[in-house]
Structure formats: structure tokens, C-alpha cells
Amino acid sequence: MQIGLSYDLKQALNPVSGGPDDALEEYDSPETVEAITNALTQAGHTVYRLGGGKEFLRRVQEQKLDLVFNIAEGLGNYRSREAQIPGILEMLDIPYTGSDPQTLAVCLDKPLTKKLVADAGIKTARWQLVTSCEELSAIDWSGFPLPAFLKPACEGSSKGVRFASRAGSAKEIVSMAAELLTAYEQPVLIEEFISGEEITVGVTGNIQPKVLGIMRVVPKTKTDYFVYSVEVKRNWRQMVEYEVPAALPAETLSRIEKATLDAYKVLGCRDLCRMDFRVSPDGTPYFLEVNPLPGLNPVSGDLPIMASKLGISHAELVLKILDTALARHSLTAANCLP
């Protein structure tokens, strides 16, 4: 098959001067593009590297593509940036892997996603959204559960999430939220801090999606307030261990699995996703967020790490995503031949 690969490389982008040091955290590395290209090529496909942005616009129409393998994060400080490439592919009527623009746009908006999953009966930490400093100071924080946790409302890869993102008082909430509003130029999500296990779940499939694995992220140094922050993600070898399957009671695992599959369905995810939870000491999974475009770095991506611990190589994971998308489109190599 003729497969396009859409991606946004960190190297191709210029950080805004004076912006936060994790401004480009979401974007991909050449290593990821190389590994996906190799997996697809070795399976007999021809891969066209489309990149992202204007380069993508030029290249996507240069040859007939049967499908695009999409990992592009999209550009700009927009909450629907992940929908940009799939939106164009829909306009051109080119099949692609992963969720559609609507799901991608909703899922990058954490508070909107929380509303949808909460409405479906899935537990999520109590939250408050603030969109401006005026709104922030007008809110009475005295009843908000402490400690609280603060993060930018529409980001990923722990952008804006630090060890110190926990507020112990109403005063701290206000000062930390004001800083985040300014630094990340977007609304801030303030949540009740959920102590407990850090869990991430891989899912693949469509009509009957399946949990690929449930992984526990275990800090090497015990702490009551572990945060899978940008510092940890950058330094994961030193700071955490990944446990697959998560050594939790069977009943807790089945609660996590149910919450995951329910959320996958209600959010309209397709082909794959990675979903994050915190599990409180009483075994309740609290939905944090979903990544319908999970990182696929062969070494550091959470989903590839989970897969490798399950005996699934990076190449096998890539082909599983491809096969799932092809089955959804009812495309096969045979009927794509000229």
C-alpha cells in the first residue's frame, strides 16, 4: 500500500521566545518517524513522509495515498490542533489511522472530556475551570478540596505539569493558577488531588475495542504525592518503573477496564488510545484524561513501553494500529493494488 506518514517534528518548530521551556514537549522526534517508517516498510508498504503544517499540505497531494498513518499533533496554541490533519484528510477523502477530528478536538480539551465521561457515570476528580484572572479572583475557593492540582486545560505530555503543581491552600490555588494562565495562554483546570496509583491503559479496536494492557507507573522513591510530571517523563529511567500488568487486585483492574472501555465509547475513540487514571486507596479509578493520539516513541512512549512488556514489539504495535484502521475502512492490501 501507499501510506503517508503525517507528523510534527520538534526540530521543525520554533519555540516562542520567552515561552515555557516545555512548549514543544508534545512534538515528535525523528526516532519515532524512523521507527514507524521501518515497521511499515518492512511489512511491504511504501511510505511517504508528509510531515506536518505547510509541508504536509504540499506533499499530501503529490501521489495517490491509500491511507495516512497520522501522529501529527497539529500546530499553534489551539485546543483543536490535533484535529487539523484529520480534518484535511477528510476533506480530501483519504483514510487515516486514529480518531476523527471531533474526538481529537474534544479529547485535547480536558474539562470538556471530563464532562462527557462524568455524564456517562465514570468517576473523575472534582474540578473547576478558570479562563481568566478576573474569573479566578471571583471564585470562592474556601470549599474546594485540598490539596488541589493545577494543569493547563488543553495540553498533553505533562506540559505545565510539575512536581510542584499541587496547591495546599486557596491562596496557592489563586497564585499558581494566575501563573499558568499567563504562561500557557489558555484556561487552567483545577482538580482535587487524587492520591494513589498512577495508571495508564492502552486500548485498540473499534466495534469491540479491547484493553491492550494496564500499566502502573511506580516512582522509584516512595512519596504520597507522586506526579507523573514533565520532570519525571524527561527522566523516566531514573525516576520510575513500569509495571505491566499492574499488580492491583482483580476487582480494581476490572473497574479500570470498564471505565476505560466506557470512556472510549462515549468519546468516540477509534483504532487506539491511551487513557490515564489515578486509583484511590479504596480502589476507585478516577479518569484523568485520554490520549487518542498517544506518543509512539519506540523507547520512551508509554504505549510502546506497555506493549513491549506484553511481548509486542514496536513494529507489531504499529501494524496493529494500521490493521485496525484498515479493517475499519474495509481496506485490504489486495483491493488497493492498481
- The set of residues, in sequence order, having a beta carbon less than 8 Å from that of 70 and lying 6+ positions away, is 6, 85, 86, 89, 96, 97, 98, 293
Q: How far is the CB of 151 from Mg ion (least distance, A)?
A: 9
Q: How far apart are CA 114 and CA 129, in angstroms?
A: 11
180 binds ligand ADP per the rule CB under 6 A: no
174 binds ligand ADP per the rule CB under 6 A: no
Q: How far is the CB of 218 from Mg ion (least distance, A)?
A: 16
194 binds ligand ADP per the rule CB under 6 A: yes
Q: How far is the CB of 13 from ligand ADP (least distance, A)?
A: 18
Residue 227 interacts, among ligand ADP, Mg ion, none and using kind-specific CB cut-offs from 5 to 8 Å, with ligand ADP
Three-state secondary-structure class, residue 43: coil
Q: How far is the CB of 205 from ligand ADP (least distance, A)?
A: 22
156 binds ligand ADP per the rule CB under 6 A: yes
158 binds ligand ADP per the rule CB under 6 A: yes
Q: How many CB atoms lie within 10 A of CB 51?
A: 20
Q: How far apart are CA 226 and CA 242, in angstroms?
A: 14
Q: Are strands 46-51 and 2-6 parallel, antiparallel or unpaired?
A: parallel
Q: How far apart are CA 202 and CA 121, in angstroms?
A: 20
236 binds ligand ADP per the rule CB under 6 A: no
Phi-psi region of 330 (alpha: psi -120 to 50; beta: other; left: phi over 0): left
Residue 187 interacts, among ligand ADP, Mg ion, none and using kind-specific CB cut-offs from 5 to 8 Å, with none
Residue 278 interacts, among Mg ion, ligand ADP, none and using kind-specific CB cut-offs from 5 to 8 Å, with ligand ADP
- The set of residues, in sequence order, having a beta carbon less than 8 Å from that of 195 and lying 6+ positions away, is 224, 225, 278, 280, 281
- For ligand ADP, give the closer residue by CB, 109 or 155: 155
Among 56, 96, 184, 228, binds ligand ADP (CB under 6 A): 228
Find out whether 241 and 298 touch, Cβ atoms under 8 Å: no
Q: How far apart are CA 22 and CA 230, in angstroms?
A: 8
Among 73, 82, 289, 302, binds ligand ADP (CB under 6 A): 289
Part of the chain binding ligand ADP (CB under 6 A), chosen from 31-39, 52-60, 63-71, 152-160 = 152-160
- For Mg ion, give the closer residue by CB, 37 or 103: 103
Part of the chain binding ligand ADP (CB under 6 A), chosen from 6-14, 31-39, 64-72, 156-164 = 156-164
Interface of this chain with ligand ADP, residues 69 to 128, rule: CB under 6 A:
125
Q: How far apart are CA 125 and CA 119, in angstroms?
A: 13
135: its cell numbers: 474569573
22 binds ligand ADP per the rule CB under 6 A: no
288 binds ligand ADP per the rule CB under 6 A: yes
Q: How far is the CB of 190 from Mg ion (least distance, A)?
A: 17
Positions that interact with Mg ion (CB under 5 A) = 276
* Residue whose C-alpha is closest to residue 94's, from 316, 333, 331: 331
- What is the greatest pairwise CA distance in the chain? 67
Task: Name the site residues for ligand ADP (rule: CB under 6 A).
Answer: 125, 149, 151, 155-159, 161, 191, 193-194, 198, 227-228, 276, 278, 288-289
